[in-house]
Structure 1
Amino acid sequence: MTIDIVNTLTSDLEPGDHPYLQGAWTPLLEEVNATDLKVLEGTIPLDIDGVYLRNTENPVLQAKGKYHPFDGDGMLHMAAFKNGKVSYRNRFIQTKGLQAELEAGRALWAGLMEDPALSERAGWGAHGSLKDSSSTDVVVHAGRALTTFYQCGEGYRVDPMNLTHEGIPPWSPLDGISAHCKVDESNGELLFFNYSKHAPYMHYGVVDKHDKLVHYVPIPLPGPRLPHDMAYTENYAILNDFPLYWDPELLKQGKHVVRFFKDTPSRIAIIPRRGQPQDIVWFEAAPTFVLHWLNAYEEGDEIVLDGYFQDNPMPRNYEGAPAGYERMMSYLDQKKMGCHLHRWRFNLKTGKTTEKRLDERILEFGMFNQRYATKPYRYAYSAVQVPGWFLFHGYVKHDLQTGDSWEIRLPEGQYASEAPFAPRVNAKDEDDGYLVSFITNEKTQRSEIILIDSKKFEAGPVCRIELPHKLCSGTHACWASGADLESGGLLSGQPRSS
């Protein structure tokens, strides 16, 4: 392996007993370029061509009070596959917040668990006092990677091949861009939403394949809400109003305390992709909160939507957590929240909603073959959480037509990343491809890349590839094929020199 250390940031972090500043969540401070990565097991297939991008939370400076893992500075990791070879590099996302704090030499903004009054400067997004770390999500649109923050930020564009910082999109609206904007590979459109504490509380927009904002409309809500994801079909965008949001009375006092209003139904908004507010059709469903959707498609008069239903969106404090972190760890525990694969059907003719659970296991962070977005798809891939922790140690593949499923688990002490589906070059059918994931191995104190052949799912990784350092964990990832990058104006293959 050839490693070029590009930069190492200076940190004043004091991890102490914080559960999310150690182990698989140990911050990484170096930026590297690496080629000729060592294959630890198996052989890198010749029929995978593209880029795996993974966003992570990597705090650089000591928090003002109690650190929450979602406060961490964004770091993007890239693995490029071509002709049976793979190269890697990582970079901090050069947000305005990180640059300001590095210049000051200290944290300037309070985090999610801290008093907003501790922020020394105005913040970003719906909360208003948080730093936009752009550390939640990443997609590739119009040939560029776009990183986003879950409470809405400006969004940052990065060259997906060499991770060069390219700034904020010129179309970024005043209320920002939430994480989980969607890229429709069939036409190159980017669909996005944002939310805020001022009326109308949500907006929905479309950016075309030429990177032009072509549609932006309000989605009026009764008050401030905390949506996290959206979905789309061939003709519609799907947004939501779930009964988990900041307590309105406490919010008047400047306190951001989340409550679950269990007697209030969930509401799902279905709007034509270029529709106006008057075109919205609202459906009611069982009270819950959905962190992530899977796919959605139209079937006759119905819209079918798959995602992860939470039985208990507001769990009790985590027992056994270090003092002061009980609530934080509860809200990071999918088992306590009771996350299950679920299907909703919305009948546009009758206005009726029907629902059913698809699996009794605790599952979340689902992926599917993006070439089958908006279509009646067959296969879904969900992550299996380590009980009590925001970590994954396995995957489940579902056949949604037959009801069959297959599960694989990683060896003890190994933790996975969100694993997008990478179609095989010249793929013949829907599950003809690989799951791609970074793995952190606590026994070796290193990280790896693994590929899982979806056709031979239970056989486990077809190869394991060593990375030059141990990654800090995080949230979301995506895959962009070499052909798509070429059509977006980028060269396919190994990263360009910076």
Structure 2
Amino acid sequence: MQTSQINTFALSRAQHYCVSSLATESNSFGSNNDRFSRASSHLSTRFSLRASPHSPTPAGTLDVKPRTAVSYPDSRELRDHGAAAHGQPPSSLAAPKEEFPRSFLHTVNSITWDNPLKQLAAAALDSLESIILAPLDSPQRLPSTTDPSVQLEGNFFPVPEHAVQHELEVEGCIPPALEGVYIRNGANPMFEPAAGHHLFDGDGMLHAVRFKQGIVSYANRFTHTYRVMEEIKREKAFFPKCVGELHGYGGLVRLLFFYARSMCGLVDASMGMGVANAGVVYFNGHLLAMSEDDLPYAVYVTSAGDLETMGRYDFGGQINFPMIAHPKVDALTGELFALSYDVLKKPFLKYFKFAQDGTKGPEVSISLQEPTMVHDFAITEKYVVVPDQEVVFRLQEMLTRGSPVMHDKQKISRFGILPRDDADESRIIWVPVPDCFCFHLWNAWEEEDEIVVIASCMTPADRIFNESTEGLQSVLSEIRLNRVTGTSVRRPLISDMNLEAGQVNKNYLGRKSRYAYLAIADPWPKVSGIAKIDLQAHKPGDDQQGNAGSSDGVDNIRVTKFWYPPNCYGGEPMFVPRSSDPSSEEDDGFLLTFMHNENTGKSELLILDARSPSLETLARVKLPTRVPYGFHGTFIGSNELAKQKETIGS
């Protein structure tokens, strides 16, 4: 076991920007069959957050002793309070009273320290922090981007864990080819926010739908990060929230007091501070839950369809730094490509990759003038495409009561093209792309001297993080980067709808693809439908499948739209190929997506035929609990599930 020294605690991450240059610890476990117990004892705590793994339980129930309910307004009251504060009419939707997941935990004893000095230090720091923060957190209008009454309204409100439940009701027929598990990540705060809260701040929760010989099961579990387990011991949120709280003087105070607790041995920051709530990837026998503020967490999918956190995953001791939540797996080579960024010290960005067997290649330091938000990137068959865009981290802005994440309107965005097997940055080519900020890049490929990037370009660039009077636009665009001339051409493909959260057929990642499957993010941040984009079928004036063009000369790209019913909203569509046969058609497969009915409070999983002219609904799985709106997912086929590794070091 190795532990590097804590450098400091700082902001990072597009979604969480709370990175410390903190050390990581290699996790190794014995050959105990109970992976959850191993992970729990490694975290020096053993709390039962789940129901019996093999027995169905009613929706929303756990085998735990209920605690006294947290005093918190119901979600309609939250909605109306937030709406009034931001000049919007109250909601007309009814909403049940709900409580934060901590209400469903076992009653636990307050944390006890191993010596009186620690106990005294803990009490003193808690009291002093409260006194200093009281005037800084005095009642004031929070921006909508960090107002809990806005960020946690309706179906953004968290849910408790739900034990695996089998033989779910299905309307329609499950396709026989659909064998495996669909897993989607999302933010689900365990505790009531003490101050500001952003959608990206919540603790990671995985929702798993298992398909096995036509039988469907469901479970949801918190990813048992060091952060959430420590907060459970204290029965409150005390780690700084990396978006909602880290702004202005209050943010600085929270950072300083967290650092003081670390120096006093009250918390071990080297064990990580991440929330693991954004991405998921399956690589080399491990399902990894990820966010940019920490190492990934390895999670095991049991034969019953349940989820068990195994611990922080450092790839066998090969990395001791965070990695972004959107690594790329090349389906042909089996390699995994990743980036990591730091907001305190150079290099602010580095690139690295792993061979199919998990062996890490060299780290390539990429020279940037200042720390930049890099939430996503792209690969081609020969290159990696690295964005250096207009949204930057400037911690000094906190001294002027501002946010450390800001839009530098003077900066010209650029994309770096680096041969993906290189060991240093000497051959990187930077191509400027003015007035461009892409939160997600859907695919990229090579065409002669050019790299073609398909991405969604957002304006205002920092709208997700900072309040603005401008509405958010996310325009699907084609960006052509010329490696020879160093010039670029950016062309909007669809300009009349916000397209975010989606993917291409992952077998085509890094190679020319015809189709993209994206969420129609309207009204932002909700998703009202799914768009299948045919990037090669230009149909000017053809409205039969939904005209996506506009009068400004943008090409009319063929778009097939699937709309959710009224007052129903969903999330990222997940494309699952029908067959592993490489000769099969690119769009021959299924689209999976969660859908929530805001009238009834019920959630479902929809299975759509990706090839049909109307994205026909093949089946609707009735879920036993509400599924909050979330982030990104993956599908693991039954053959891959059988190859899972049972220990974190294997």
Give TM-score scaled by structure 2 length.
0.68
**Are residues 1:210 and 2:345 paired?**
no
1:14 aligns with 2:170: no
Residue in 2 aligned with 1:113?
Answer: 244
| Separation (CA, whole Å) in 2 of partners of 1:449 and 1:411 | 14
Match of 1:475 in 2: 631
Matches within 5 A, 1:365-444: 365-387=501-523, 389-402=524-537, 403-425=557-579, 428-444=584-600
Q: 2:276 aligns with which of 125, 134, 138?
A: 134
Q: Secondary structure in 2 aligned to 1:99?
A: helix
Determine if contact 1:46/1:82 at 8 Å carries over to the other structure.
no
- The structural deviation recorded for 1:485 is 3.3
Q: Is the 8 A contact 2:205 2:277 kept in 1?
A: yes
Whether contact under 8 Å (2:181, 2:211) holds in the other structure is yes
d(CA) in 2 for partners of 1:271, 1:81: 40
Question: Which residue of structure 2 lines up, in the alignment, with residue 234 of structure 1?
Answer: 381
Farther-moved stretch of structure 1 (130-139 vs 51-60)? 130-139
Aligned to 1:495: none
Q: Distance in 2 between matches of 1:379 and 1:170?
A: 34
Write the letter of the residue equivalent to 1:47. A
1:323 aligns with: none
Q: Greater CA radius of gyration, 1 or 2? A: 2
Which amino acid in the other structure matches residue 607 of structure 2? L
Question: Offset at 1:412?
Answer: 1.4
* 1:306 corresponding residue in structure 2: 454
Using the alignment, how far apart are the partners of 1:182 and 1:13 within structure 2? 43
Does residue 28 of the first structure (1) align with residue 159 of the second (2)?
A: yes
Give matches, 1:41-440, under 5 Å.
41-111=171-241, 112-114=243-245, 115-116=250-251, 117-119=253-255, 120-122=257-259, 131-150=273-292, 152-161=293-302, 162-171=306-315, 173-197=319-343, 198-247=345-394, 249-250=396-397, 256-275=403-422, 276-315=424-463, 330=467, 336-360=471-495, 361-387=497-523, 389-402=524-537, 403-425=557-579, 428-440=584-596
Q: Say if 2:370 and 2:392, in contact at 8 Å, map to a contact too.
A: no
Deviation at 1:425, TM superposition (A): 3.1
| Deviation at residue 66 of structure 1 after TM alignment | 1.5
Deviations 1:201-240 (A, max 9, x none): 0111112222232232211110111111111111111111
The alpha-carbon deviation at position 131 of structure 1 amounts to: 4.3
Task: After superposition, give the CA deviation of every residue in 1:382-403 in whole Å (9 maximum; x if it has no partner).
Answer: 111132x322110111111113
Q: Structure 1, residues 46-72: CA drift from partner, whole Å, max 9, x if none?
A: 121222110011111122211212111
Q: 1:247 to 1:214 in 2, by over 3 A?
A: closer
8 A Cα contact 2:314 2:320, kept in partner: no
**Which residue of structure 2 lines up, in the alignment, with residue 494 of structure 1?**
none
- Indicate the SS of the match to 2:277: coil
Q: Name 2:56's counterpart in structure 1.
A: 3
Matched residue, 2:607: 451
2:152 and 2:490 map into 1 onto residues whose CA distance is 39
Give percent identity, aligned residues only: 29
The one-letter amino acid of 2:300's match is D
Letter in 2 for 1:143: G
Contact 1:225 1:244 in 2 (8 A): yes
Quote how far apart the aligned CAs of 1:251 are: 5.8
Write the deviation string for residues 5-37 of structure 1: whole angstroms up to 9, x where unpaired.
555686747354412323111211123101101
> Residues 254 and 142 of structure 1: is their aligned pair in 2 closer, same or farther, counting only changes over 3 Å?
farther
Query: What is the CA distance between 1:330 and its match in structure 2?
Result: 4.5
- Over 3 Å counting, the alpha-carbon distance change for 1:432 and 1:363 in structure 2 is same
- Provide the C-alpha distance between the structure 2 equivalents of 1:459 and 1:243, rounded to a whole number of angstroms: 37
CA-to-partner distance for each residue in 1:219-270, whole Å, 9 max, x for gaps?
1110111111111111111111101113465267796433222232111111
State the alpha-carbon separation in 1 of the partners of residues 70 and 200 from structure 2.
18
Q: Secondary structure at the match of 1:250?
A: helix
In structure 1, stretches of 5+ residues that fail to align are 316-326, 491-498
Alpha-carbon distance in structure 2 between the residues aligned to 1:482 and 1:278: 42
**Higher deviation after alignment, 91-100 or 66-75:** 66-75
Letter in 2 for 1:157: A
Contact conserved, 2:370 with 2:393, CA < 8 A, in 1?
A: no
**Contact 2:606/2:620 (8 A) holds in 1:** yes
Distance across 1 between alignment mates of 2:615 and 2:356 = 38
Task: Give the drift of 1:409.
Answer: 0.8
The structure with the largest strand share of the pair is: 1
Alpha-carbon separation, structure 1, partners of 2:575 and 2:337 = 20
Look up the SS of the partner of 1:81 in the other structure: strand
Contact 2:596 2:602 in 1 (8 A): yes
User: Which protein has the bigger helix share?
Assistant: 2
Distance 1:252 1:237 in 2: 36
Counterpart Cα distance in 1 of 2:151 and 2:457: 25
List gaps (5 residues or longer) in structure 2: 1-53, 82-148, 263-269, 538-556
Residue of structure 2 equivalent to 1:321: none
Distance in structure 2 (CA, Å) of the matches to 1:397 and 1:424: 17
Deviation per CA, 1:441-494, whole angstroms, max 9, x where unpaired? 22221211111101115254211011110012221111222233345569xxxx
Question: 1: CA distance between counterparts of 2:466 and 2:163?
Answer: 31
Amino acid at match of 2:161: E
Paired residue type of 1:19 = V
Per-residue CA deviations over 1:115-154 (Å, capped at 9, x if unaligned) read: 3322543499xxx9x941111111111122111114x312
- The residue type paired with residue 500 of structure 2 is E
Query: Could you tell me how far apart the structure 2 residues matched to 1:426 and 1:176 are?
Result: 32
CA distance 1:459–1:269, shift in 2 (3 Å): closer
1:407-461 Cα offsets, whole Å, 9 max, x none, are 1110112111211100113662100001101111222212111111011152542
Contact 1:293–1:366, Cα closer than 8 Å, also in 2: no
SS of equivalent residue, structure 2 residue 632: strand
